Amino acid sequence: MARVNRFGFLAIALTFHLVYIFSIFDIYFVSPIVSGMREFEVERPESVEAPAKRLVLFVGKVTTFHDNIFLLLTAFNCTGDGLRADKAFQSFPEPYPKDDADLVPRSLAPFLRSRVLEHGTFGVSHTRVPTESRPGHVALIAGLYEDVSAVTTGWKLNPVNFDSVFNRSRHTWSWGSPDILPMFELGAVPGRVDAYTYAAEEEDFSQDALHLDLWVFDQVKALFADAAKNATLDAALRQDKLVFFLHLLGLDTNGHAYRPYSKEYLNNIKVVDEGVKEITKLIEDFYNDGKTAFVFTADHGMSDWGSHGDGHPDNTRTPLIAWGSGVAKPVTTTDKIAPGHDELSADWDLDHIQRHDVSQADVAALMAYLAGLAFPVNSVGELPLSYLAGDVAVRSEAFLANSRGILDMYRVKEEQKKATELRYRPFKPLSDEAHSMEHRFSVIRSLIDQGKYEEAIQETAAFVKVGLEGLRYLQTYDWLFLRALITTGYLGWIAFALTTVIDLHVLHGKTETSRTLLGNIFFSSILLSLYASFIVSKSPFTYYAYAIFPVGFWEEVYARRNALIEGRKALFGHITSAGGFVVLLLKAAIGLILIESLVRLSSFPSLAVIDICSRHLDIPTERSSLYYGQLLPPGRRFTEWLFCRQTKSLQELG
């Protein structure tokens, strides 16, 4: 490389950093979705029906137990968008009290509470980051954790189509937000999913969002009313393997606009509870066969100041309540606290009911089983056996079918990786004959055939854990290489930049480059070897760009090694004693401390913002300063108006 001037140096710097920014996507944002898996479902004799003929899913936006989605499996599905688990089970006074009696705390969701106490199984569904609507719904309905490559579409569209419970159904009717429903309609078999949405303009954060949930409930009622006049619709509704999905966005919208402790939010919980009660009765009266399963849950929770997205427990804990056909009844205790409870549920007054926590993706497996569907082929959810009615033999068979689907995904991913690797490094727990998938499945089948159902379930659970670890291993297979390559590139850039600065501004271009035949062969061989491996592995074109920079930078540093030697003499030649080097190191340390101090100071409260809050909203200065640190993470600045509004809300809460 010829000596570059300052403009050439800046051009190289800009190109390098633009290219290397995209390495984030090749390392962390690679889609985990693969195709080519076989379908697996619980095999039943023709005379044996599935636990439920239909599933109703309610997904609501609530906080821990208010920010969750209601899944009604009739399978009737209803989700509460933004419902936190704690809000769904805690007691509060009436949001709009009319007399003193309304000030007494009570459950704002009495119907859902009755399902927990008398009819079904409940627990907390634990989500993963990002705690946003799309990732939450993908986990609930498809059983996979968000395809991170969807970040390139703003979490709206599907970069890679995936399977889902809806796609496995005979037919799905869904109602709710235009931001959620289309992604499951577009990814399913054409005509299998009907999505009815309100206009995007209806999602208005400046007004109470109750009307969004009321619209959903009204549309469901209209569908069943139309069936009385439409023989074709009535016949379609009488089939099995149906799914009904109610997406309830009102709680999330009100949580953002008014906060989860506001009267608007708490009143929305009451409305959702009443709506779920009405829809449940409507469906049970329409079918009158006791073959409907219901699930209520949420896609994510919500913080006390109306936000979500990160991994705070308020955002990752959502309620899960299942009842109806195929769902286990409550497990109660009388003389002690039931298993599963912790400090989160201490004030729910449900200590005598066993709490069964699950991972969010497990809900998809639960719904597929209840409705008699094949498990979604991309699902990594484990069937939560504690939610299932029936004997242990049935549960062991169901869990085995669930595990086959998860391990088949591992099989496909491993085959794809083997086909593109010069030297494949297998996942050790599944690499030898004694631990192969075929061997372990035969062991589980033998245990079931011998009537050792509990042992079979334990062996299946251990096998599923190994399979999920194997999927993680394959998903991150190239991480070490890519991270090493990118790190070498950045270190090369630092060395190249240092060499260029010394050459141009310390030595003023007086030194000459010194290349050797051996050096040229060495660096050329490295680059050719990397490119050859990329060709064999069918790597993305970006890998070639990632490789050329570190090789080029370090070759240039090697060629200008004389500049580094002369630069060291010019800059540090006057330091001849050990004491001089100690002083130099101390100065460097002090400089780093000063830089870090400036970074810390930049996150301290803005005096201007605190002054506005204190003067115009009567908020004490010390309280403004306190909340400033809580509400604004370092490096972020909201508008002064929004910050003051949040602070005022927290002050009113004490």
* 195-205 pLDDT, tens digit each: 999 998 888 87
Residue 179 lies in a domain: yes
What's the burial of 430, exposed, middle or buried (CB within 10 Å: 0-12/13-18/19+)? buried
- Contact in structure between 73 and 324 (CB atoms under 8 Å): yes
Give the integer Cα–Cα distance in Å for 49 and 42. 11
- Whole-angstrom CA distances from 33 to 72, 130, 254, 482, 620 are 27, 18, 34, 20, 52
Please, what is the average pLDDT of the chain?
85
What's the burial of 246, exposed, middle or buried (CB within 10 Å: 0-12/13-18/19+)? buried
Scanning the structure block, which residue is given the tokens 């639960």? 366
pLDDT on residue 73 = 33
Half-sphere exposure of 394 (CA within 13 A, CB side): 19
Q: Largest alpha-carbon pair distance within the chain?
A: 99
The tally of domains found in the chain comes to 4
**Average pLDDT estimate for 531-556:** 93
Between 32 and 372, where is the model more confident? Answer: 372
Residue ending a domain, choose from 431, 459, 476: 476
Residue 49 lies in a domain: no
Residue 334 has pLDDT above 80, yes or no: yes
pLDDT on residue 117 = 95
Between 483 and 581, where is the model more confident? Answer: 483
Scanning the structure block, which residue is given the tokens 């779920």? 276
Residue 607 has pLDDT above 90, yes or no: no
Same domain, 456 and 511: no
Under DSSP, the state recorded for 118 is I
Same domain, 509 and 425: no
Residue 327 lies in a domain: yes
How do residues 252-269 score in pLDDT, each as one tens digit?
888 888 888 889 888 999
Same domain, 557 and 618: no
- Contact in structure between 236 and 223 (CB atoms under 8 Å): no
Same domain, 217 and 340: yes
Whether cis (ω within 30° of 0) applies to the bond prior to 225 is no
**Average pLDDT estimate for 472-479:** 93
pLDDT on residue 155 = 60
**Average pLDDT estimate for 359-375:** 98
Winning range, highest mean pLDDT, from 358-372, 601-615, 635-649 = 358-372
Same domain, 471 and 504: no
How do residues 88-132 score in pLDDT, each as one tens digit?
677 888 988 899 888 888 888 999 999 999 999 999 999 988 888
What range does the domain containing 337 cover? Answer: 54-382
Same domain, 286 and 273: yes
- Contact in structure between 210 and 250 (CB atoms under 8 Å): yes
**Average pLDDT estimate for 332-361:** 93
pLDDT on residue 632 = 41
Residue 46 lies in a domain: no
Residue 243 lies in a domain: yes
Rg, Å, the chain Cα set? 30
Same domain, 340 and 398: no
The type of residue at 324 is: G
**Average pLDDT estimate for 161-178:** 95
Provide, rounded to the nearest whole percent, the portion of the chain with pLDDT above 70: 85
Residue 524 lies in a domain: yes
How do residues 223-252 score in pLDDT, each as one tens digit?
999 999 999 999 999 999 999 999 999 988
For the domain that residue 170 is a member of, what is the CATH number? 3.40.720.10
Residue 485 has pLDDT above 80, yes or no: yes
Same domain, 629 and 495: no
Residue 462 lies in a domain: yes
Same domain, 145 and 235: yes
Give the integer Cα–Cα distance in Å for 79 and 249. 9
Residue 3 has pLDDT above 80, yes or no: no
Give the integer Cα–Cα distance in Å for 480 and 477. 7
Least confidently predicted of 90-104, 482-496, 548-562, 622-636: 622-636
pLDDT on residue 260 = 85
Which tokens sit at 601? 């100071």
Same domain, 460 and 511: no
pLDDT on residue 510 = 78
Residue 37 lies in a domain: no
Same domain, 12 and 132: no
pLDDT on residue 494 = 94
- Whole-angstrom CA distances from 592 to 566, 581, 602 are 26, 17, 16
What's the burial of 442, exposed, middle or buried (CB within 10 Å: 0-12/13-18/19+)? exposed
Between 282 and 98, where is the model more confident? Answer: 282
Residue ending a domain, choose from 555, 572, 589: 572
Same domain, 65 and 92: yes
Residue ending a domain, choose from 365, 382, 399: 382
pLDDT band at 157 (very low <50, low <70, confident <90, very high): low
Under DSSP, the state recorded for 385 is G
**Average pLDDT estimate for 389-397:** 94
